[in-house]
Amino acid sequence: MTLRLFFIIGLGFFLGCSNDDAVSNYQPTPQPLEIPQIFSENIIGPVIPSDNPQTVEGVALGKRLFFDRILSSNNTQSCASCHAPQNSFTDNTPTSVGVDGVFGTRNSMPLFNLAWNYEERFAWDGKELSLERQAEEPVQNPIELHNNWEDVIERLQNHPEYPELFRLAFNTTTITKTLTTKAIAQFERTLISANSKFDRYSLGQTNLTAQELNGLDIFLREDKGDCFHCHGNPNNPLWTDNDFHNNGLDATFSDFGLGAVTGDPNDNGKFRSPSLRNLAFTAPYMHDGRFATLDEVINFYSEGLQDSPTIDPLMKQIEQGGVQLSAQEKADLKAFLLSLSDPSFVNNSDFQN
Partner 1 sequence: MKRLFIYTMLSIFFWSCNSDDPSEAPKVSTTFKFIHDWDGALIRDYNFGPIQYTTANGDLISFERFRYVISDITFTKANGEQIELDVYNLVDLTTETNMEYTPETRITPGDYSSVSFTFGLDNEDNAENYLDLNSANFNVPDMLGGGYHYMQFDGKFINSNMMEQGFNYHAIRAVDNSGANPSFPQDTFFTIDLGAITITNDVEFEVNVNIAEWFKTPNLWDLNVYNQMLMPNSTAQILMYENGQDAFSLGNVLQ
Residues 6 or more apart whose Cβ sits within 8 Å of residue 253: 259, 268, 269, 308
43 closest CA partner among 313, 331, 326, 240: 240
Q: Which is nearer to partner 1, 176 or 236 (CB)?
A: 236
Stretches 166-174, 196-204, 293-301, 314-322: which one binds partner 1 (CB under 8 A)? 314-322
Q: Which is nearer to partner 1, 162 or 301 (CB)?
A: 301
Q: Is residue 245 within a helix (H) or strand (E), and if so which, with residue range?
A: strand 244-245
Q: Which is nearer to partner 1, 115 or 183 (CB)?
A: 115
Stretches 23-31, 100-108, 173-181, 228-236: which one binds partner 1 (CB under 8 A)? 228-236
336 closest CA partner among 246, 227, 241: 227
How many residues appear in the chain? 353
209 binds partner 1 (CB under 8 A): no
Stretches 50-58, 85-93, 158-166, 237-245: which one binds partner 1 (CB under 8 A)? 237-245
As a whole number of angstroms, the distance between CA 317 and CA 324 comes to 8
Among 309, 324, 344, 352, binds partner 1 (CB under 8 A): 309
Number of residues in contact with partner 1 under rule CB under 8 A: 35
Among 233, 262, 299, 348, binds partner 1 (CB under 8 A): 233
Give pairs for 300-306: CB < 8 Å, separation 24+: 300/249, 301/225, 301/227, 301/247, 301/325, 302/330, 304/248, 305/247, 305/248, 306/248, 306/249, 306/250, 306/251
CB 181 within 8 A of CB 139: no
Among 125, 241, 332, 342, binds partner 1 (CB under 8 A): 241
The Cβ of residue 1 has, within 10 Å, a number of other Cβ atoms equal to 5
Q: Which is nearer to partner 1, 83 or 121 (CB)?
A: 121
Contacts with partner 1 in 81-140 (CB under 8 A)? 116, 118
222 binds partner 1 (CB under 8 A): yes
CA 162, 166, 171, 177 dihedral sign is negative
Q: Provide the mask over 15-54, with x wherever binding to partner 1 is found by CB under 8 A and - wherever it is not.
A: --------------------------xxxx----------
217 binds partner 1 (CB under 8 A): yes
Q: Which is nearer to partner 1, 80 or 333 (CB)?
A: 333
Interface residues with partner 1 (CB under 8 A) are: 41-44, 116, 118, 217, 220-223, 226, 228-230, 232-236, 238, 241, 243, 264, 266, 307, 309, 311-316, 318-319
